[in-house]
Structure 1
């Protein structure tokens, strides 16, 4: 009886184990398949990424620098004579034209000197006329043998001496008129008047501080340093007149385009740069002397360059790389060299034109990962033509 009971219990246990194995077999098979798939390289769920097609186009190289705005012409107004100011014709900040009156000085003393010089001239002219008559009379008497030749020579010397006195009188009149002209101070050039340091009634001398300054604002210049390795390109641009310089206005108010005007004759040995100057039309006075401004100077181009967004570049410990989407729809890691860059675009080697470069989502990738592509916004860097390289990121040596 006991044996029969034990045999029945054993049969029931075997049946229960078989039923349990039958139930768990599909789950164990699925779990094994998942583990096998997970161990395969590059497998896993597809990663959503944003891509931009690499473009081939000419890439203009530009040197970027911070320049200093300076006036082409800045004149300090000083009096040439000592006198009191009788009238101020201008106000601070006013724009004046060349020849426009600025100050009037007390000219009464100068007018008196002119009158005195003219009176002295008339007196000496009368004396000269008398000497000439004496010379003519002595010559008549010489022909009649009433006087000697020495008497005639004496009269001739008197005439010549008096003629020199008359010439000196005329020069004195001119000098007096020049002094009189100094009483009227006019603008030497077109420009903007700075602070005025005097008022009507102020007594000024040539040694006094400047009465005012007149600064030319249109056109205006921007000076900035350029690395010495670009001197050849600078001189070529200066000679051909093709040097175009772009200045970024403050507060992102746009840009102004000027021309290269000057390359300095010496290199700064400490900085390894040469100073250059560009000239800009400034009718709206958007550039102000003494201000700093970011400038870019075109120095060449890279024809047929491959452009990708800088956001796509991965900086590794040894090299730079980008992810591209292969023909099989999986991510491929490419090592690249950055030749030049500007803003959000870079010129690289190692990528072909039209290859789809992954910009966003690359942090979730590994080589061989399947991807689901989304096109980047139209403002993507590689989709915009005509991008230019900044100075600090020009062609790598």
Structure 2
């Protein structure tokens, strides 16, 4: 019985303390609410703007050489020397490697001798034909003998042409012992070394990449293609590439759209052309590409952070002329550079809350604490 009385006394004390706390805090809470209603909820606002908006798509891209070849010899032989530094920039026509030219030079000299011999044979045949032409009219030789000497001239002339062609081929093969760069570019590491035997059109010597200009390759969703094609009809489409850990951006132009969509990914491949005069882009390098897909004229836009969503849709808080917050349901469009286009529900120059909107309800009195 004694313990039950103690429990009842403790409960009574707790109830009294709780009642006193509620009695003391009630007026203070009411005063604070009244002060907030009088002073207003502090917010920051910005005016909705009207103007042209470029909608861009940011995608991961990689650089690709404008042209890329594996340099090979055009004649077989032994490599005498390499004439390039790995990774160096070279010009079209620069010698990259030299094949032992001695066998080809000897072949050229031999062919020159064959040409000289054929020309001598042609000269003799022409002399014989002239001599028999003079006596043919006098009847000292038969027409058959004359035709035979004339045929000898034709054969000798053909032999000269054949040997002349062989001479040109021998000269060409000698020239091919100098392996030269087909275009300006950057060479890679050598794949063979002096003393190695190379086979014509079969042995890789070094890779050569043309990087001025250069391509960047990327993919966009097929749903963005129609808008991009329409934009391209009005002129060149500029593309921006940003290097990793580099605030500088490079400007290029879209110059290729693939002719089919990848059914696996639902994307289509595109390429942008960049002059790359300073060689900032290297084949295989990853960059962030910004691709414009739409150009909206006279569009109303607001900072993206002003938008909120509810079960009724997207909305913003607008401050009216009386300094009260009004919940305005809107239809948002595409976004670009931190701003969202509003296609319906908002007029230009209306003040939209950018900070403090989470404390607002319909009709809340606000105090504008700044803009932004």
In the TM superposition, residue 236 of structure 1 has moved relative to its aligned partner by 5.4
In the TM superposition, residue 233 of structure 1 has moved relative to its aligned partner by 5.0
Structure 1 segment 142-157 matched on structure 2, within 5 A: 142-157=136-151
Partner of 2:280: 286
What is the aligned residue count?
347
Q: 1:350-388 deviations in whole A, cap 9, x for unaligned?
A: 222222211121222222222211223xxx5xxxxxxxx
Aligned partner (choices 69, 74, 77) of residue 75 of structure 1: 69
Partner of 2:105: 111
- Match status 1:135 vs 2:135: no
SS at match of 1:295: strand
Larger mean Cα displacement after TM superposition, 283-292 or 204-213: 204-213
SS at match of 2:258: strand
Tell me the TM-score normalized by structure 1.
0.80
Larger mean Cα displacement after TM superposition, 182-191 or 280-289: 280-289
Aligned partner (choices 357, 361, 364) of residue 359 of structure 2: 364
Measure the CA separation in 2 of the matches of 1:293 and 1:100.
31
Contact map agreement 1:76 1:214 (CA 8 A) in 2? yes
- Match status 1:220 vs 2:214: yes
SS at match of 1:340: strand
Gaps of 5+ in 1: 1-26, 381-397
Measure the CA separation in 2 of the matches of 1:225 and 1:49.
42
RMSD between aligned alpha carbons?
2.7
Partner of 2:262: 268
Partner of 1:196: 190
Q: 1:229-265 deviations in whole A, cap 9, x for unaligned?
A: 5555545555654221122222133211111212222
Larger mean Cα displacement after TM superposition, 79-88 or 43-52: 43-52
Partner of 1:20: none
Measure the CA separation in 1 of the matches of 2:156 and 2:63.
59
In the TM superposition, residue 34 of structure 1 has moved relative to its aligned partner by 4.8
> Against the structure 1 CA distance between its residues 352 and 234, is the aligned structure 2 distance closer, same or farther, given a 3 Å change threshold?
closer
Measure the CA separation in 2 of the matches of 1:235 and 1:34.
61
Contact map agreement 1:237 1:260 (CA 8 A) in 2? no
Partner of 1:307: 301
Measure the CA separation in 1 of the matches of 2:133 and 2:337.
96
- Match status 1:251 vs 2:245: yes
Q: 1:17-75 deviations in whole A, cap 9, x for unaligned?
A: xxxxxxxxxx99x96x959x97x9x9576221121121111112234333232111112
User: Which has the greater radius of gyration?
Assistant: 1
Larger mean Cα displacement after TM superposition, 171-180 or 351-360: 351-360
SS at match of 2:165: helix
Q: 1:183-206 deviations in whole A, cap 9, x for unaligned?
A: 101111000111112222222223
- Match status 1:375 vs 2:370: yes
Partner of 2:345: 350
Measure the CA separation in 2 of the matches of 1:241 and 1:66.
24
Measure the CA separation in 1 of the matches of 2:360 and 2:228.
45
Tell me the TM-score normalized by structure 2.
0.85
> Against the structure 1 CA distance between its residues 234 and 309, is the aligned structure 2 distance closer, same or farther, given a 3 Å change threshold?
closer
- Match status 1:161 vs 2:155: yes
Gaps of 5+ in 2: 1-22
Partner of 2:19: none
Partner of 1:392: none
Contact map agreement 1:227 1:272 (CA 8 A) in 2? yes
Measure the CA separation in 1 of the matches of 2:150 and 2:234.
66
Contact map agreement 2:48 2:348 (CA 8 A) in 1? yes
In the TM superposition, residue 278 of structure 1 has moved relative to its aligned partner by 1.6
Contact map agreement 1:241 1:259 (CA 8 A) in 2? no
Contact map agreement 1:101 1:187 (CA 8 A) in 2? yes
- Match status 1:340 vs 2:352: no
Measure the CA separation in 1 of the matches of 2:63 and 2:37.
59
